[in-house]
Amino acid sequence: MSYIKVYIHFVWSTKNREPQLVTKEIRKMVWSHIQENVKKKGIFIDFVNGYSDHCHCLVSLGVDQSIQKVMQLIKGESSFWINRNDIIVPTLGGKKFEWQDEYFAVSVSESMIEKVRNYIKKQEEHHSKKTYQEEFDEFINKFGFTKFHD
Percent over 90 (pLDDT), the chain: 62
pTM: 0.85
Distance, in Å, from the CA atom of 20 to the CA atom of 18, rounded to the nearest integer, reads 6
Phi-psi region of 70 (alpha: psi -120 to 50; beta: other; left: phi over 0): alpha
pLDDT digits 0-9 by tens, 91-125: 556 678 999 999 989 999 999 999 999 999 998 78
Per-residue pLDDT of 32-58, as tens digits, reads 999 999 999 999 999 999 999 999 999
Report all structural domains of the chain as residue ranges with CATH numbers, in order of start: 6-143 (3.30.70.1290)
Burial of 82 (0-12, 13-18, 19+ CB in 10 A): buried
State whether residue 128 is helix, strand or coil. Answer: coil
Q: Which of 31, 92, 78, 96 is nearest to 57 (CA)?
A: 31
